[in-house]
Amino acid sequence: MQLVGTQFTDATAIVGNDLVTLPDYPAEIRAPAGSLAGVSGFQINFASTEVYTPGDTVQTLVAMNPAALKVNLADLDHGGHLILNIDAFTPTALKHAGYEADPTDDQELQGYHVHKVPMTKLTIEAVKDAGLKPKEAERCKNFFALGLAFWLYDRPLDATLKWLDQKFGARPQIRQANELALRAGFNYGNTTEMFQVHYRVRPARVPPGTYRKIRGNDATSLGLMAAAWQAGQKLFYASYPITPASDILHELVKHKNFGVKVFQAEDEIAAMCAAIGAAYGGAFAATGTSGPGMALKGEAIGLAVMLELPMVIVNVQRGGPSTGLPTKTEQADLFQAVLGRNGECPLPVLAASSPGDCFATAFEAFQIAVRYMTPVVVLTDGYVANGSEPWRVPRIEDLPRIAVNHEFPPETFQPYARDENLARPWALPGTPGLAHRIGGLEKEHITGKVSYDPANHDFMVRLRDAKVAKVADMIPEQTLIGDESGDLLVVSWGGTYGTIRSAVERVRDKGGSVSHCHLRHMHPMPRNLGKILKSFRKILVPELNLGQLCLLLRGRYLVDAIGFNKVQGKPFAVAEVAARIDQILNGGD
């Protein structure tokens, strides 16, 4: 399902529609086939106008077996198309999915346009000329379903056929069978009278430029690469594989021709320490992980803060705690990013809002890291990292240069002297005259010598905190969607951006006094945020956690923020956020 969902997405991008996707993976690596836990889904929302979310509910649901039907039927619009692989609805499969009776024969499916398609039988018949064994032939049924979806929504086959050439060029039987299944599904929709409608979605109007479909993890990778390139430096990325961050590692390993060096470490601690070593040696160093890995990296992150070395730490958030929901999305690592280290250990934290925004966020993180000589945390999440959208590819000449200086006069060099940003010098080891000591023990101001002096420790703790606070001077002031004051301000962060914006626009279109404030800079926050918050009667903070940003806003700005929280491993729906906004505007708590 992930494979054919990606192919449908590619075809949709080529047509020129705006789109947002939501891949939904099983948590288990090899969940039993036909089980509820093993259902793999792929949702796409596409239009001729701008879209921000993968959609609340779906207009067309393709269910390849009873388990897929049971898991996803609640998300299908009343009156929507339900396409079933009826061959899979056997007594054994029905029992495995928890059905006591065949749902296709009772009232449960009333109100939907039900299309019972014998996909397995039709696929086996269609691919028989390829000479595959029956089991191999049956596996092509996902391409039959893809072909049928292509016909229903008037998608071209060309991109998928080209992909088949590239993927199975060395296996002509497999390539031929998948093409035969794809064309059979397309022709089935075209020649049968089962479907009384055929949809054509015109291209979206977008600013001129070069566009590509991009996933969040790929955009993060390119943002890290672009930052190093614009500084004339090498990128070093150290990581231990972890869902859903592993694809950053997979993407970066492809780009050694751009000077990227990738290290797959034996554990999270080694990955973090390797990034520290690379930064000490002058590289643009980064590491990536998810929440459990951030916990393991915590002590070494504190070391990086004490050393005052620039690097980027990417946390692709997932459901927790512990192993939790490794393939589902959540926003529950904000406290961990801002506060989750021993001692007073401040560092800047940024959060990406969409797959394409991961590029800009990763790039900006390196700008901050180098200017202020500090580690920077970038928060994405499973939805943003695995989701896709059209992305306007920036021209390299339009990206800002990142100034790097490793040269200092030996006669006046001090390893913990400060510039106007309170950043210490990034002197490289082995440079004549610039020998210096770094380590985890407290440093003496200016000289960097180990110091146990209480007054010096107090001074250095406050100095490091002031340095991070100065990042607010670099970041832009916070902007709003809507009026600058009013009855309600909805504050969001990270991957909830599209849903919250859509909900706010829906309520505003009905005349509601509501505005939207979406944060990228989580610590420090924009310098004008307090003024914005105090310009509204009420503040609503929707989060995929139990209220972490809400508590930070209450503590920092003394505003009576209202939390709206969800921890189901699923994104917010536009409808549920809009309903909560309406409730508050109508006098509800």
Structure tokens at 302: 């504190």
Whether residue 331 sits in one domain with residue 303: yes
Q: What is the CATH classification number for the domain harbouring 289?
A: 3.40.50.970
Q: In what order do the strands lie in the sheet with 113-117?
A: 58-63, 76-85, 113-117
* Residue 182 domain flag: yes
549, 541 in Cβ contact below 8 A? Answer: yes
Structure tokens at 257: 């021709």
Residue 222's SS3 state is: helix
Residue 11, amino acid:
A
Strand positions, DSSP E, 400-461? none
Whether residue 50 sits in one domain with residue 182: yes
CA distance 221 to 553: 31
Whether residue 347 sits in one domain with residue 228: yes
Whether residue 231 sits in one domain with residue 315: yes
How much is the pTM?
Answer: 0.94
CA distance 589 to 584: 6
Last residue of a domain, one of 398, 417, 439: 398
* Residue 457 domain flag: no
* Residue 451 domain flag: no
Range of the domain at 222: 211-398
Question: How do the pLDDT tens digits run along the chain, 589 residues long?
Answer: 999 999 999 999 999 999 999 999 887 777 777 889 889 999 999 999 999 999 999 999 999 999 999 999 999 999 999 999 999 999 999 999 999 999 998 788 989 999 999 999 999 999 999 999 999 999 999 999 999 999 999 999 999 999 999 999 899 999 999 999 999 999 999 999 888 888 999 999 988 999 999 999 999 999 999 999 999 999 999 999 999 999 999 999 999 999 999 999 999 999 999 999 999 999 999 999 999 999 999 999 999 999 999 999 999 999 999 999 999 999 999 999 999 999 999 999 999 999 999 999 999 999 999 999 999 999 999 999 999 999 999 999 999 999 999 999 999 999 999 999 999 999 999 999 999 988 999 999 999 999 999 999 999 999 999 999 999 999 999 999 999 999 999 999 999 999 999 999 999 999 999 999 999 999 999 999 999 999 999 999 999 999 999 999 999 999 999 999 999 999 999 999 999 999 999 987 7
Report which of 536, 498, 535 is spatially closest to residue 518, judged by C-alpha positions.
498
Q: What is the CATH classification number for the domain harbouring 141?
A: 3.40.920.10
Whether residue 216 sits in one domain with residue 187: no
Alpha carbon distances (Å) from 197 to 105, 192, 200, 583? 24, 12, 10, 38
Structure tokens at 410: 């030996």
* Residue 100 domain flag: yes
Whether residue 352 sits in one domain with residue 218: yes
Work out how many domains the chain is built from and give that number.
3
